[in-house]
Amino acid sequence: MNEIKWHVGRFSSLNLFDLYALLKLRQDVFVLEQRCLYPDMDNQDQEAVHVLAWREKHLLAYSRILGPGTRFHCPSIGRVIVESTERSAGLGSALMRESIRACRQHFPDQEIRLSAQRHLEAFYRELGFSVASKPYDEDGIAHIEMRLLSDHQGYMHPGL
C-alpha cells in the first residue's frame, strides 16, 4: 500500500487539482451522502488553512482550519472528512492529529473549537476534546460544540 502524503497550507498553496478534489470530496460526503443542502462554498476557504491526505493522486481525507474570529473566538477545525472507502482504518484520527498540529503551528497557545456531529462525540473525546455546548441543530443534523485546551491551559497531547 502506498504511503499517505500530507499537504497543509493556505488557500494560495492549493493548485487547481487540489481545489477540485477537496470540493468534490466535500460535495460527495456532506451534500450527497449525508443529504445536507448547505452553502459549502462560503467564502471562508480563501483565508483558511487546509489539511489534505493524499495517496498518489487520490484525496482520502480533508479538514479546514479557520482562524480566530471567523467561526469562533478561537481557531476552529471544520469540514472534517474521510472518504467512505477509508473509514474505520484510523485515517480520521490521523487527520485530526495533523489538523491539531497545524492549528497549534498557525495559532499557538490558543484553544481549538469545532462543531461536531453529535454521534462523533466519543471520537473527538479520544483526541482530548470536551463538550462545550448543549446539542443544537446544524443543517438538519444534531451537533455539539467541542473544545480542546491549549498547551498553556493544561492540555496534554494524547500521542501527538
CATH of the domain at 94: 3.40.630.30
Mean pLDDT along residues 61-77? 96
Asked, for residue 115, whether it belongs to a domain, the answer is yes
Look up residue 122 and give its amino acid.
A
Provide DSSP, 93-153: HHHHHHHHHHHHHHSTT--EEEEEEGGGHHHHHHTT-EE-S--EEETTEEEEEEEE--GGG
Whether residue 158 lies inside any domain: the answer is no
Task: Report helix, strand or coil for 48.
Answer: coil
CA dihedral (73, 149, 144, 37) in degrees, to 10, reads: 60
In a domain, 45, yes or no: yes
pLDDT at 38: 76
Give pLDDT, residue 49: 98
CA nearest neighbour of 102 among 71, 67, 61: 67
Q: What percent of the chain has pLDDT over 70?
A: 93
Interatomic CA distance for residues 66 and 45, integer angstroms: 8
Whether 104 is covered by a domain: the verdict is yes
Domain that residue 50 falls in = 5-153
Residue 102 belongs to some domain of the structure:
yes
For residue 65, is it within any domain? yes
Let me know if residue 19 belongs to a domain.
yes
Q: State pTM to two decimals.
A: 0.90
Mean pLDDT of the chain: 90
SS3 17: helix
In this prediction, residue 160 carries a pLDDT of 45
**Residue 2 pLDDT > 80:** no
CA quadruple 44, 45, 48, 52: dihedral positive or negative? positive
Mean pLDDT (whole number) for 38-67: 94
Question: CA–CA separation, 160 vs 59, rounded Å?
Answer: 23
For 113-160, what is each residue's pLDDT tens digit?
999 999 999 999 999 999 999 999 988 889 999 999 976 555 444 444
Is there a domain that residue 159 lies in? no
pLDDT value for 1: 53
For the chain, how many structural domains are there in total?
Answer: 1
